[in-house]
Amino acid sequence: MYIYNTTFNIEINIFNQCLKEIKTDLIPQLLDSGLVEKAILTEVLGQDDSVGKTFSLQLFYSSKAHLSQFQKFHNHITGGWVKRYKGKVVFFQTPMRVVDQ
């Protein structure tokens, strides 16, 4: 099992709008790709929320091939979202492999 983790910090003034869009638009589009097995959205605890809230979106893949294929075209899905919130959402992405469950 492989995971593509995106951790992002959303500015408070756009938080509700942005989180709604992640849940109703972005995640369904990612799942509709046919490559993502499941998606889990989590809130990072213990962070200073005065400037923004930090979340992690974990996308699960059954094979490294699916993860690689996703990495080649994910900008097609996420590109508009990234442009729309440029400067208001900071994020980094990490591909990972599950070692043990």
DSSP string for the chain = -EEEEEEEEEEGGGHHHHHHHIIIIIHHHHHHTS--SEEEEEEPPSS-TTTEEEEEEEEEESSHHHHHHHHHHHHHHHHHHHHHTTTTEEEEEEEEE----
| Stretch 23-50: mean pLDDT | 90
Model confidence pTM above 0.85: yes
Express each pLDDT in 43-77 by its tens digit: 999 877 788 899 999 999 999 999 988 888 776 66
| Number of domain units in the chain | 1
**83 is in which domain, residue-wise?**
2-97
* CATH code of residue 54: 3.30.70.100
